[in-house]
Structures are given as structure tokens and as C-alpha cells.
């Protein structure tokens, strides 16, 4: 694939999105949908053509990706805000699917819960609160007519062109099989086992579980630590030195004892990014305060009342203030 | 070397004479100036003389204080009159003590004293410094001049105390402060001991003239006239400044005593620098004199200067300031004589320009209707006579004419002012007539008749004697076409008589009719007379009549004094004063009977008859056309207008020979074109391309992006996202891929 | 030291972890880029303030996908940690932005963003 093909596909996609945006033109919407979907599909096919012969075809990623793109396109073009919100749910679910495919099951489900469950419901509530009273059909004029679509499309798709160029073409694109791009599996495994080293209770439970299958072993044991580290990793297997009744034994840990994805995320969160975690908490707290303040009932003050509220002396006498406007 | 040659030349002229006439000087006559004597520094006997110059200064300061205090009385006038009268009395006392053969220097204070070498004083070390003390130089010329300047100043200030009555208050103070400043400057000009002081006074009188011409500063014509006078004088003053500079460069000194002694010794000033400067000096001084004294081609400001109050016209623009040019040339006459001795023609140029200006201005004056303008052109014409006299080397004639002219022209102006004052600003002689019979105007009528007779030069008047001194000299002094010049002067005398009496007969005789000037009410001068039908002229008061009477008596006395002196064959006091000063040429002292002849007679004698005849003929024509048979004047005008070959003549005369228009076409218009061209260059290239063009570049660049910033949230978001896209594009295409 | 292998399942069994394939990550990143671009286009073209914020959520979503994909590629959990932060910011933004929208809607009964352009100078 050459850059020109990619750029032409971007242009076609932009034209497709433009056609979908045209209000009340079903035919053009169909043409636009075909053009946009064709462009995306064409690029995806081109990407897959470049795969190694023995590599598995990522069918599910393609399916979820197309669903997400379709939902996104429909979301930004649908004239009815509620439907747009619903289409965003499609995007969220598809994204969650892609998260799952990429071994991020914790984030996939929290995405569903937080986005689809909480944020989107908030949006829907606000949409209900602020629905335009003049649009009885549920379609306000300003929802149907896009604002300067050409400029927006040019900007957006130039960005898309350079982004996809960077992802797919520059130096062969983003390639995990390129030298140095992906760490070796053993080092990844070592990192994971080391996380278990930081979880002593779990380690003890794991060891107790292993020892429980061995009737010869006594129930009392201590895990030996050298330089504070208990787990030894020889490149393929992880083992623990355990002292049972003054007798040292080397226990090889099973793969199932390796920390799970959620555990890794949690460990990373508290061990690697503790300050960021605190900051995130402060952000949420402040957002809550802000939302509470904004949602309070607003009071319109008169000019003199504003002066008083600002600490200045009022200009008018009490009986005059009735005529000076400003009611609470 | 050159000095030696010049000295030899001078000596040849002065002693041996030389029948070859190569210098155009009469053979065998004593030539040179009469003041070889070093000035005596005397501060004891002449200590009082300093007050001549300080009294006007005190008066000017007091008038300024009055203005600040808001004085509404006649106090400024009396202060000025008292100060000027004091000056006159002191001048009289000083002159009475003065021996004309012994110039006196009265040192007031050190003013400019620069020196940059030891100043051994030898001839090779003349340029060791520049010294100009604030000192008075009292000799015949300056004594003569200061007497009539202070006398006329006193008289005219007295006159103005009534004339300016309507402006009592700030304007009154301003007027008399201006007069005092003028008198101070004029005193410094006349009495100054060096050319720097003369220059100080020269510029001072120019300033006072500017201030007083523009006295009615709300009147656009007055402002324009003031500017015109100032600018025209700039041209002349440039010449004077250059002349003074060249004199210093050539002689190393600007003090009269040192200069005259050097010139007497035959120093051409050519020792250190090129000798041409010695011949150039008179031309530069001449330019200055022509500017100040309104000679061709720099005369056009003087008629316009009549926009000022009439006392100003009388004092500054007729009697005193405009004679400063005469004074300058008379004072620096040794330079002109040196120029002549070296073969130069400066004196001849002075004579010819003076004579031609006299004729030109007289022809213009014949066709004017504004009586003050007639008088203004008459002043130009008479000043031309004076320059003619200077050029003909009769300093006595020129200076005597200055005096007589100062009296009768001041008188005439003051009479015109009285008429203007009394008749609602009316100056058009077509709208005035028969004023003689209006009650209360007798003094004005008869004093103006004296002034007119004196100006016309009818036999027996002072103007007759002083003019004849000049005209007869034209037939005595040998020079380029001087006899022709004499005849031009004689014809001009006839014209003068005609136009002078044209005014007098038109205004004072014939049927009585008058009406005020409609535009005059805007001048801020008068008056509550209202419309024509109930207009009543108010006759001049005691002070105006008194001044007019005194001036006419002075004019009469001038005539009588000369007549007596001439009859008795003695040299008059004036001749004595002039010929013993630096203005003396020696020609006046030559014994009678050795002159060339005119029509077979001695020129002095012949001229009495010739110019008297011309004056009387002019008077008679004026009487016939403007008094006895006014229809004849209309017929004559009709005769002129009816014939194409001659119709241009009266029209051109009435339009002042289109000199102003020629100036506009030849000087102002080209300058205007050049100014416009430079202005357009400035507008298009400097401002347009240079400054605004530079400023417009960012504006153009900004206008490309301006639509993005339309106040809409998403507009800003669009440009932000576009910028982000471009940054990423740059990263991807240039950094990561290496090329686009 | 006795080398005794005891495990619940099969001790020493190799890990199931495999590197992500090039095609997969490229597909996922492409989807992320397309979603981001569409979200931006939506933000710039929609006039409804609520939907504009929804489009920013879409852009958050796209970047979250990219985070997850890169985390998967490098086989570490930090990509997912950043997604947690993205979720935090998105939630905070939703709370504040929607509160503001409700507030603005009380002032002027419209959701059109162009109704709020008092800051423009001409």
C-alpha cells in the first residue's frame, strides 16, 4: 500500500461522511454509507494483505472495528440526539469487545459499566431535561443541519490521513514483529511473577495450596527470601524456596498462579502511578463539587444586590430598591 | 598683492583723480568717506544716550504687564508716548552735544565677545575673534536718523492713542507693546555700533512689522499680509546675513570704527580670502536693503501691509522701518564706494533699480482706488527715489528725502487714517467725495493738502527740494545712462503729482457723498453706525488734529529751513551731518560751477524749473480730471477702454502690472507643483509603500485567517484541530518519513 | 535441594501469552484513528452542545482503544491504567459539561452552540 492509496481512501471516506451528513436525503445517505464503508473496508483489506502467510486473520477485530466505525459515523450524523446517544452505546460496546480481544477484560467491563451504564445515562437525562420545546418532532433544525461540514471534514480527514499514515505506512507502520518493538516473553513473564512477589499473602496462599496436594509435607512452612525476593525465575519456570520443618524445598509455581490482568492493572495503578491515582481522585472530587454548584438553583440579583454581595455599599435606600429591579 | 593693487587704485582715484573716467566718477573730485577718525569712546558725556534704547524696552514691558493685568484705560498709550517722547528729548540733547566730525561710541554692556587666538592685532591676525558689544555709535547719520524716528514715533503713538480707542483693553496694550518693540528695534538698528546690532534691530523691526500688520489677526487678509511681509523680508534678510558674514570674513571685524578705518586705508579685504567677496558684499547688502525697503522685485509686500492699523502704516511702512534699507546702504556706503573703485557696478544697480521702481510704483499708484494703497505705492515710489539718490552717490539727497518723505508721508497716512476712521473704514476714493465741506474735517483737509503738495514736489515744498537734490545729481554723476535715469525720475515726479492730487481732489472736493465700508464691521475696528442711510461720520478728535497740525508744521519747517540755507549759500545742518558720516561721498561738497550742464544750465538750477513744471502739470491734470471736469476723466477712461491697442494700459496699471500674478506663476506655482510632487512621493512611496505597505503585510496575512476567528466555539476548535493536524503532518511527513 | 515439581495443574506449563500480530494491531489502530477523526468531525459539525460533548467522548473512546492496543503490544498493563485515567477525566467532564449545558439552557432555551458567541469581537 502506498500513501496515495491511503489518502485517496481518506478522501473517499470524507466524501462518504459528507454525503451521510446531508439532511433528508436518503439516497445520498446510502451512497455515502457505501463510499465510507468501502473506503474503510478497502484499507482494512489492504492491511490484511500485508500479513504474514501463517498469521491468523483477526476476524473479530475487523467486525468490532467496523461496528464501532459505523456507530460513530451514525452518531455524528443522526439528527436526533437520543439516537445519537444510543449509537454511542454501540461504539462503547464494540470498543469493549476490542478491549476483550486485547486481553483487557477488566477495562472492557468497566468501560461498559462506566460509559454505557453511567455516563450515557447522564447524557440521556440531560437530553430529556434540555430537549428543545420548539421541536415537537424531536428533531431541532440545528440538529439536522451540520455546521460548516467541509472545513470540519478537511481538518478531520487530514488528521486521519496523517494518523493512519503514521500507523500503517511510515517505516512499515506499527509492527510488533519489528526488532525491539515487543519485549521477549520470558521478560514479560518475569515481570508478572515479580508482581506476585509483591503480593505476599497471595504467594503464601498459593504455596499452601501446592503443599496441600502433597501429603508428605507438613502444614507449617516459611517462604525463604533472599535480598527480600522469594520468587526465582529461570527463564521458563518460576519457583519458590520454602522451608518446611527446617528442610528447604524448591516449589515450582504453576502458570495459573501467575497474577491476572486485573491484578496487574491494580498493582500498576498503586505501585507505579500512585500520584496520578491521587490526582484522578481529586479531579473527580472537584468535578462533583462543580456539578453540585452548577446544578444549584440560580438566583438573579439586581445591580444593587450584586454590589452588596461584592462587599460594596448599596447605592439606593431600602424603599427605592423596590423600583430598581432585581428580584430573587 | 591684491590689497596693494586696490590700494593703489584707490589712491589714484582719491588723489590724482584720473581723466580717463574708468570708474565713472567725476574727474578731479575728492572721493571717499569723510570719517577717517577713530571713534571716541565716551561714556561720561553721553551716559544719558543709553536711555534712548532702554525707554522703549521699559514701555514694551509695561504694556505687557498692563495686558496681563487687564488694564482697560489709556495707560498703555500714555506710557508709550511718554517713553518715546523721553527718547526724543534724550536724542535731541545727545545730538546737541555731538560733534559730527568725531563719532562717539557709548558702551552699554559686553554682548558677544569671542576670541580664539592671542589677537596680536596685525593684519595677518585679524580673524582672532568676533566682538559685538552692545554699544551705541553716534555720528551724523545715526543722530540724524534717530531724531526723526523718535519724533515721528512719539507723534504717531499720540495719534494712535485716539485712533485705537475702540480696542481699549488687551488689543490696546498689544498695539502699544508692538510700537514700543518697534521703536526699541529701530533704535538698535540705527544706533548700533556694529553690524550684529544692526542685524538685531533689523530682525526686530521685521518682527514688530509682522506683529502689527497682523494686528487684526481675525481678518484673513491681515494674517496673509503679515505672512507675506515676513516671508518677503526673509529673502532680503538672507542677503543681509550673507553680507555681514562676508564682511567679517574679509575684514575680521564688524565694528563700524574698525571697518571704516580699514576701508579708508584701502583694505579690499582680499588679503586672506578670494577678493571677489569684497565686490560681492555690496550686492548682498543691496538685497537686504531692497527687501526691507520694498524695492523691485521685493516690493509686493508693502501694499499688502496696509492691512495693519493706519498708525502702523504711517510709522513703520512709510516713515521709519522702510527707510532702514536706505540707512543700511548709507551706513555701508564705503563698501559701495570700494566696489566702485574696484570697477564694480553696485551703485549703478542701486540707482537703476530705485529709479525703475519709482516709475513702476507711480504708474500703479495712478490706477488704484484704495487711498491707502495709493499711498503705499507712493511710498514704494519715493523709496525708489531715495535709492536712486544713493546710487547716484548723493547720500545727502537720499537722506534728506528720507526725512521730508517721513514727514509728509506720515502726514498723508494719518490723514487717510482719519478719513478711514471717521467714515466707517471707507477707503475707496470712488465712494468718498467733498469731505472738505463736512463739519469738523477742515484740519484733515488742509493738512492733507500740505502733505499732497509736498509729495507732489510743487515748487517751494520740502519734497521739491529733496527730490531735486536727487534728480539734479543724475545729470552730474557720470554713470551708465544716468541722464536717462534722471528723465525717468522727472517723469515720475509728474506722475506723482497727478496721483497724489487725484486722491485729494476726489476725496475732498466735488459734491459731498460718502458711505461706510460694508465689510469693515468685521475688522473689529468700529462701530455702531449701522446702515448707510443713518450713517454719520465722526470727525477726528483733538489729538488727531493736533498731531496732523504738528506734522504739517514740521513739513513746512523742513521746506523753509532748506530754502533759507540754500538762499544763504550755507551748508545745512543736515548736509553737514550726512557728509561727515560714513554715508558721505564727498560729492555734495564739491564747489558749484564745475558740474556738467543740463540744457545749458547748472543742473541744480535747471532742475528747479523742470521738476517744478512737471509737478505743476501733473497737479493741473489732476485738477482738470478730478475736480474741475470729472466727466473728462470718464471720457478719458472710455477713450482708453474703447481702443484695443491701448486698453490694456489702464487695466494693467490697475492690476499692478500683474506682478503678484507673475510671482504666482513663476515662483509660487512651480514651488507648489514641486511641493505637490514631493507630497505625492511622500504619500505614495514613503507613506504608502514604505510605512503603510509594511503595515499592510501583516494585515493581509491576518485577513487570510480572520474568518476563522468568528467568535463561534467550533470555529476556534476547527482552527485548533487544523493546526494540530498540520503539526502531526509535519511530524509524520518531515520528521518520520523525511520528505513529503 | 530437591527439585520437586508439584503443581495444581501441570507444573512448568508454558504461558499462554502470545505477541499481538502486526495485522491485528494495525486494524485496531486504524479503527482508533477513524473513530478519532469522526469524533472530531462530529464535534466541529454538530450544533447541539450535548452532542458536541458526546463527540468528545467518542474521541476519548478512540484514544482509549489506541492505549489498550499499545499496552497489548508491549504486554504491560500501563495502557489500561491510562484508560482508567481517561475514564476519570471523561466522567468528570461529563458531569461538569452537562451541568454547564443545563445552566446555559436555562439562560437561553436552545442547545445551539452558536447562541453563545458573545466573546466575538465583531
Looking up residue C55, the CATH number of its domain turns out to be 1.10.287.3510
Q: Do A76 and A221 reside in the same domain of the chain?
A: no
Q: C40 touching B, CB under 8 A?
A: yes
Average pLDDT over residues A230-254: 84
Is A111 found in the same domain as A38? Answer: yes
Q: Beta-carbon neighbour count of residue B417 at 10 Å?
A: 27
Grid coordinates of C47? 450544533
The mean pLDDT value for B571-591 works out to 71
Q: Give the highest mean pLDDT range of A138-152, B451-465, C47-61.
A: C47-61
CB atoms B711 and C43 under 8 Å:
no
Q: Estimate to the nearest angstrom the gap between the alpha carbon of B641 and the chain centroid.
A: 35
In this predicted structure, the answer to whether residue A316 has a pLDDT above a threshold of 50 is yes
Question: Domain total for chain C?
Answer: 1
Q: Distance between CA B289 and CA B296 in Å, rounded?
A: 11
Q: What are the b/e assignments for A159-186, b being 16+ CB within 10 Å?
A: bbbbbbbbbbbbeebbbbeeeeebeebe
| Between A16 and A143, the higher pLDDT residue | A16
Q: Do C117 and B711 touch (CB under 8 A)?
A: yes
- Is residue A111 scored above 90 in pLDDT? yes
Using a pLDDT cut of 70, give the percent of chain B over it.
Answer: 85
In a domain, C8, yes or no: no
Distance from CA of C116 to the nearest CA of A (A): 14
Chain A residue closest to B719 (CA)?
A155
Q: How many domains does chain A have?
A: 4
Report pLDDT for B433.
81
Neighbour count for residue B44 (Cβ, 10 Å): 6
- A231-233 and A238-244 as β-strands: parallel, antiparallel, unpaired? antiparallel
For C90, the domain range is: 22-112
Q: What is the pLDDT of residues A26-35, one digit of tens each?
A: 888 899 999 9
Of A142, A172, A202, the one marking the end of a domain is A172
Inter-chain touch A252–C114, beta carbons under 8 Å: no
Residues of A in contact with C67 (CB under 8 A): none
Q: Calculate mean pLDDT across residues A63-92.
A: 92
Residue B297 confidence (pLDDT) above 70? yes
Residue bearing the bigger pLDDT, B264 or B127:
B264
Dist CA B726 CA B557 (whole Å): 104
Q: Quick one: CA torsion of A177, A181, A184, A187, rounded to 10 degrees? A: -160
Assigned domain for A201 exists = yes
Model confidence band, residue A221 (pLDDT cutoffs 50, 70, 90): confident
pLDDT at B9: 37
Tell me what pLDDT residue B128 has.
67
Residue with cell 493512519: A164
| Set of chain C residues whose Cβ sits within 8 Å of the Cβ of B714 | 43-45, 52, 113
Among B712, B726, B732, pick the best mutation site for testing chain C contact (most C Cβ within 10 A).
B712
pLDDT of residue C10: 43
Cβ separation of A171 and B728 shorter than 8 Å? no
Q: Is B709 within 8 Å of C120 when comparing Cβ atoms? A: yes
* More confidently predicted of B565 and B628: B628
For B475-484, what is the mean pLDDT? 81
Closest alpha carbon to A78 in A20, A30, A156, A126: A20
Work out the end-to-end distance of chain A between its first and last CA atoms, rounded to an integer number of angstroms.
67
pLDDT band at C55 (very low <50, low <70, confident <90, very high): very high
Q: Are residues A104 and A142 in the same domain?
A: yes
Write out pLDDT tens, residues B323-360: 999 999 998 888 888 888 877 888 889 999 999 999 99
CA-nearest residue of chain B to C41? B718
Distances in Å between the alpha carbon of A234 and those of A187, A194, A231, C7, C46? 10, 13, 10, 17, 58
| Residue-averaged pLDDT of chain B | 81
State the Cα–Cα distance between residues B589 and B575, nearest whole angstrom: 9
Mutate to test the interface with A, among B715, B718, B719 (most CBs of A within 10 A): B718
Same domain, A73 and A160: yes
Residue C20: pLDDT band (50, 70, 90) is confident
* Model confidence at C66: pLDDT above 90: yes
Residue of C15, C45, C87 to mutate, testing the A interface (most A Cβ within 10 Å of its Cβ): C45
CB B457 within 8 A of CB B464: yes
Contacts of C48 (CB under 8 A, 6+ apart): A81, A140, A142, A143, C111, C112, C113
Coil vs helix vs strand at B76: helix
User: Number of Cβ pairs closer than 8 Å across A and C?
Assistant: 347
Alpha-carbon distance B304 to B312, whole Å?
13
Element (H, E) at B21: none
> Does residue A179 lie within any of the structural domains?
no
Cell digits of residue C28? 485496531
* Residue of chain A whose alpha carbon sits nearest to that of B708: A151
Residue A314 lies in a domain: yes
The answer to whether C52 contacts chain B (CB < 8 Å) is yes
Q: Do C7 and A210 touch (CB under 8 A)?
A: yes
C-alpha closest to that of B106 among B60, B159, B40: B40
Option in C40, C52, C114 nearest B721 (CB) = C40
Last residue of one domain, picked from the residues A122, A145, A172: A172
Start-to-end CA distance of chain B, whole Å, equals 88
Q: If you ran DSSP here, which 8-state letter would residue B535 be given?
A: -
Q: Check the CA dihedral A266-A270-A272-A277 and report its sign.
A: positive
In a domain, C66, yes or no: yes
Sort out which chain C residues have CB atoms less than 8 A from A252's CB and list them: 5-7, 11-12
* A230 and A202 belong to one structural domain: yes
pLDDT value, residue B590: 52
pLDDT of residue B37: 59
Residues paired with residue B105 on neighbouring β-strands, in sequence order: B41, B137
Q: Does one domain contain both A198 and A133?
A: no
According to the model, what pLDDT value does residue B179 have? 93
List the single best residue of A149, A160, A185, A275 to mutate versus C (max C Cβ within 10 A). Answer: A160
Say if residue A227's pLDDT is above 50: yes
Check CB contact under 8 Å for B721 and A148.
Answer: no
- On whether both A232 and A267 belong to a single domain, the answer is no
Q: What is residue B207's predicted lDDT score, i.e. its pLDDT? A: 92
Q: Of A148, A172, A196, which closes a domain? A: A172
pLDDT at C21 over 60: yes
pLDDT at B181: 93
Whether residue A286 lies within 8 A of chain B, CB to CB, comes out as no
Q: What is the pLDDT of residue B369?
A: 87
- Contact C104/C50 with Cβ under 8 angstroms? no
The CA distances from residue A23 to A17, A80, A128, A143, B577, in Å, are 12, 11, 23, 10, 114
> Shortest CA distance to A277 belongs to which of B202, C114, C85?
C85
Confidence class of residue B525 from pLDDT cuts 50, 70 and 90? very low
Query: Which residues in chain A have Cβ-Cβ distances shorter than 8 Å to B731?
Result: 162, 166
Q: Which of A140-149, B12-21, B692-701, C73-82 has the lowest mean pLDDT?
A: B12-21
Do A9 and A119 lie in one domain? The reply is yes
Closest CA of chain B from A154, distance in Å = 8
**C38 interfaces chain B, CB cutoff of 8 Å:** no
Cα nearest neighbour of A287 on chain C? C92
Give pLDDT, residue B23: 33
pLDDT for B592 equals 52
Find where cell 528729548 sits: B89
pLDDT at B10: 39
So what's the pLDDT on residue A319? Answer: 60
Contact of C33 with chain B, judged by CB distance below 8 Å, is answered with no
Q: Which residues of A touch B722 (CB under 8 A)?
A: 154-155, 158
Residue C40 has a pLDDT of 93
Residue C105 falls inside a structural domain:
yes
> Which domain, by its residues, includes A314?
297-328
Q: Sorting pLDDT into bands at 50, 70 and 90, what band is A321?
A: low
Question: Is the distance from CB of B25 to CB of B340 less than 8 angstroms?
Answer: yes
**What does the pLDDT read at residue A324?**
52
Report CB contact under 8 Å: C116, B713. Answer: yes
The answer to whether residue C94 sits within a structural domain is: yes
Lowest mean pLDDT among A135-149, B602-616, C71-85: A135-149
Per-residue pLDDT of B379-403, as tens digits, reads: 999 999 999 998 888 888 888 899 8
- pLDDT at residue B107 is higher than 60: yes
Coil vs helix vs strand at B36: coil
Amino acid at each position: 500500500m502506498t500513501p496515495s492509496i491511503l489518502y485517496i481512501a481518506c478522501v473517499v471516506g470524507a466524501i462518504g461522511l459528507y454525503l451521510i451528513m446531508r439532511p433528508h436525503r436518503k439516497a445520498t445517505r446510502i451512497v455515502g454509507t457505501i463510499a465510507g464503508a468501502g473506503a474503510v473496508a478497502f484499507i482494512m483489506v489492504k492491511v490484511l494483505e500485508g500479513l504474514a502467510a501463517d498469521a491468523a486473520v483477526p476476524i473479530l477485530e475487523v467486525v468490532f472495528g467496523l461496528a464501532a466505525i459505523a456507530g460513530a459515523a451514525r452518531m455524528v450524523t443522526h439528527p436526533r440526539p437520543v439516537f445519537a446517544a444510543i449509537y454511542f452505546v454501540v461504539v462503547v460496546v464494540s470498543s469493549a469487545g476490542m478491549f476483550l480481544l486485547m486481553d483487557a477484560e477488566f477495562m472492557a467491563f468497566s468501560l461498559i459499566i462506566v460509559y454505557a451504564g453511567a455516563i450515557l445515562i447522564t447524557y440521556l437525562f440531560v437530553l430529556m431535561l434540555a430537549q428543545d420545546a420548539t421541536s415537537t418532532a424531536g428533531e431541532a433544525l440545528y440538529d439536522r443541519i451540520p455546521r460548516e461540514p467541509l472545513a470540519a471534514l478537511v481538518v478531520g480527514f487530514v488528521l486521519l490521513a496523517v494518523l493512519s499514515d503514521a500507523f500503517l505506512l511510515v517505516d512499515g507502520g506499527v509492527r510488533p514483529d519489528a526488532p525491539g518493538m515487543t519485549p521477549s516473553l520470558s521478560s514479560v513473564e518475569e515481570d508478572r511473577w515479580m508482581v506476585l512477589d509483591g503480593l505476599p499473602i497471595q504467594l503464601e496462599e498459593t504455596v499452601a495450596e501446592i503443599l496441600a496436594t502433597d501429603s508428605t509435607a507438613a502444614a507449617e512452612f516459611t517462604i525463604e527470601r533472599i535480598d527480600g525476593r522469594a520468587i526465582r525465575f529461570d527463564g521458563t519456570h518460576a519457583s519458590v524456596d520454602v522451608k518446611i520443618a527446617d528442610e528447604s524445598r524448591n516449589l515450582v509455581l504453576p502458570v495459573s498462579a501467575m497474577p491476572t490482568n486485573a491484578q496487574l492493572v491494580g498493582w500498576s495503578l498503586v505501585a507505579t502511578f500512585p500520584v496520578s491515582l491521587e490526582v484522578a481522585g481529586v479531579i473527580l472530587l472537584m468535578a462533583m463539587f462543580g456539578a453540585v454548584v452548577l446544578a444549584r438553583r440560580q438566583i438573579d440579583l439586581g445591580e444593587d444586590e450584586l454590589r452588596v454581595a461584592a462587599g460594596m455599599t448599596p447605592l439606593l435606600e431600602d424603599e427605592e430598591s423596590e423600583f430598581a429591579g432585581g428580584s430573587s | 598683492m591684491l590689497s596693494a593693487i586696490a590700494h593703489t587704485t584707490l589712491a589714484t582715484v582719491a588723489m590724482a583723480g584720473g581723466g580717463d573716467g574708468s570708474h565713472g566718477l567725476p574727474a578731479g573730485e575728492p572721493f571717499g568717506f569723510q570719517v577717517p577718525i577713530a571713534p571716541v569712546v565716551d561714556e561720561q558725556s553721553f551716559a544719558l544716550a543709553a536711555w534712548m534704547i532702554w525707554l522703549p524696552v521699559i514701555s514694551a514691558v509695561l504694556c505687557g504687564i498692563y495686558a496681563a493685568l487687564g488694564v482697560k484705560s489709556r495707560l498703555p498709550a500714555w506710557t508709550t508716548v511718554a517713553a518715546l517722547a523721553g527718547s526724543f528729548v534724550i536724542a535731541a540733547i545727545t545730538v546737541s552735544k555731538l560733534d559730527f566730525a568725531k563719532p562717539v561710541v557709548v558702551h552699554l554692556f559686553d554682548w558677544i565677545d569671542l576670541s580664539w587666538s592671542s589677537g596680536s592685532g596685525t593684519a595677518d591676525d585679524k580673524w582672532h575673534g568676533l566682538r559685538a558689544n552692545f554699544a551705541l555709535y553716534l555720528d551724523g547719520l545715526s543722530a540724524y536718523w534717530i531724531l526723526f524716528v523718535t519724533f515721528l514715533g512719539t507723534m504717531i503713538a499720540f495719534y494712535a492713542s485716539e485712533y485705537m480707542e475702540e480696542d481699549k483693553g488687551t488689543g490696546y496694550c498689544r498695539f502699544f507693546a508692538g510700537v514700543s518693540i518697534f521703536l526699541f528695534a529701530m533704535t538698535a538698528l540705527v544706533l548700533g555700533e556694529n553690524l550684529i546690532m544692526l542685524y538685531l534691530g533689523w530682525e526686530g523691526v521685521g518682527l514688530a512689522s509682522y506683529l502689527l500688520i497682523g494686528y487684526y489677526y481675525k481678518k484673513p487678509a491681515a494674517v496673509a499680509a503679515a505672512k507675506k511681509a515676513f516671508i518677503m523680508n526673509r529673502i532680503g534678510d538672507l542677503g543681509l546675513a550673507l553680507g555681514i558674514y562676508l564682511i567679517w570674513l574679509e575684514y575680521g571685524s564688524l565694528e563700524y570704527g574698525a571697518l571704516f578705518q580699514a576701508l579708508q586705508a584701502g583694505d579690499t579685504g582680499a588679503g586672506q580670502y578670494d577678493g571677489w567677496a569684497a565686490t560681492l558684499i555690496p550686492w548682498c547688502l543691496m538685497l537686504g536693503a531692497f527687501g526691507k525697503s520694498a524695492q523691485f522685485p521685493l516690493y509686493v509686500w508693502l501694499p499688502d501691509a496696509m492691512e495693519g492699523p493706519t498708525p502702523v502704516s504711517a510709522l513703520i511702512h512709510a516713515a521709519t522701518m522702510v527707510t532702514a534699507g536706505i540707512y543700511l546702504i548709507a551706513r555701508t556706503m564705503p563698501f559701495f564706494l570700494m566696489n566702485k573703485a574696484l570697477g564694480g557696478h553696485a551703485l549703478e544697480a542701486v540707482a537703476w533699480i530705485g529709479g525703475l521702481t519709482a516709475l513702476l510704483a507711480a504708474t500703479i499708484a495712478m490706477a488704484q482706488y484704495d487711498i491707502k494703497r495709493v499711498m503705499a505705492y507712493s511710498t514704494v515710489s519715493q523709496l525708489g527715489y531715495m535709492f536712486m539718490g544713493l546710487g547716484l552717490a548723493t547720500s545727502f539727497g537720499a537722506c534728506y528725502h528720507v526725512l521730508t518723505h517721513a514727514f509728509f508721508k506720515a502726514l498723508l497716512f494719518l490723514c487717510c487714517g482719519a478719513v478711514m476712521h471717521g467714515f466707517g473704514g471707507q477707503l475707496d476714493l470712488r465712494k468718498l467725495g467733498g469731505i472738505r465741506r463736512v463739519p469738523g474735517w477742515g484740519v484733515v483737509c488742509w493738512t492733507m493738502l500740505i502733505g499732497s503738495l509736498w509729495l507732489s514736489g510743487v515748487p517751494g515744498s520740502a519734497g521739491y527740494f529733496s527730490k531735486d537734490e536727487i534728480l539734479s545729481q543724475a545729470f552730474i554723476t557720470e554713470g551708465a545712462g544716468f541722464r536717462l535715469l534722471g528723465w525717468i525720475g522727472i517723469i515720475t515726479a509728474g506722475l506723482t503729482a497727478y496721483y497724489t492730487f487725484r486722491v485729494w481732489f476726489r476725496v475732498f472736493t466735488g459734491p459731498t457723498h460718502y458711505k461706510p465700508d460694508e465689510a469693515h464691521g468685521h475688522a473689529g475696528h468700529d462701530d455702531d453706525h449701522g446702515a448707510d442711510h443713518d450713517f454719520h461720520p465722526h470727525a477726528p478728535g483733538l489729538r488727531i488734529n493736533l498731531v496732523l497740525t504738528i506734522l504739517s508744521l514740521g513739513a513746512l519747517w523742513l521746506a523753509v529751513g532748506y530754502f533759507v540755507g540754500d538762499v544763504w549759500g550755507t551748508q545745512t545742518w543736515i548736509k553737514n551731518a550726512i557728509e561727515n558720516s560714513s554715508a558721505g561721498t564727498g560729492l555734495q561738497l564739491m564747489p558749484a560751477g564745475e558740474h556738467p550742464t543740463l540744457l545749458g544750465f547748472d543742473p541744480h538750477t535747471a532742475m528747479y524749473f523742470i521738476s517744478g513744471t512737471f509737478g505743476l502739470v501733473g497737479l493741473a491734470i489732476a485738477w482738470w480730471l478730478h475736480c474741475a471736469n470729472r466727466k473728462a476723466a470718464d471720457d478719458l477712461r472710455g477713450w482708453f477702454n474703447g481702443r484695443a491697442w491701448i486698453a490694456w494700459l489702464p487695466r494693467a496699471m490697475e492690476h499692478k502690472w500683474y506682478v503678484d500674478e507673475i510671482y504666482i506663476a513663476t515662483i509660487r506655482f512651480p514651488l507648489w507643483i514641486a511641493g505637490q510632487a514631493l507630497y505625492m512621493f511622500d504619500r505614495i512611496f514613503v507613506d504608502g509603500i514604505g510605512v503603510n505597505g509594511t503595515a499592510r503585510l501583516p494585515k493581509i496575512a491576518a485577513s487570510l485567517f480572520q474568518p476563522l476567528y468568528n467568535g463561534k466555539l467550533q470555529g476556534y476548535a476547527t482552527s485548533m484541530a487544523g493546526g494540530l493536524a498540520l503539526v502531526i503532518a509535519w511530524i509524520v511527513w518531515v520528521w518520520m518519513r523525511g520528505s513529503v | 535441594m530437591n527439585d520437586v515439581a508439584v503443581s495444581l495443574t501441570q507444573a512448568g506449563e508454558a504461558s499462554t501469552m502470545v505477541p499481538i500480530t502486526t495485522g491485528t494491531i494495525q486494524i485496531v489502530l486504524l479503527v482508533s484513528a477513524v473513530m478519532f477523526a469522526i469524533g472530531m468531525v462530529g464535534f466541529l459539525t454538530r450544533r447541539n452542545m450535548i452532542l458536541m460533548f458526546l463527540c468528545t467522548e467518542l474521541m476519548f473512546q478512540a484514544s482509549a482503544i489506541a492505549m489498550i492496543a499499545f499496552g497489548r503490544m508491549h504486554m504491560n498493563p500501563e495502557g489500561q491504567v491510562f484508560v482508567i485515567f481517561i475514564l476519570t477525566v471523561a466522567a468528570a467532564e461529563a458531569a461538569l459539561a452537562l451541568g454547564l449545558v443545563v445552566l446555559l439552557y436555562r439562560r437561553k432555551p436552545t442547545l445551539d452552540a452558536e447562541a453563545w458567541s458573545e466573546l466575538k469581537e465583531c
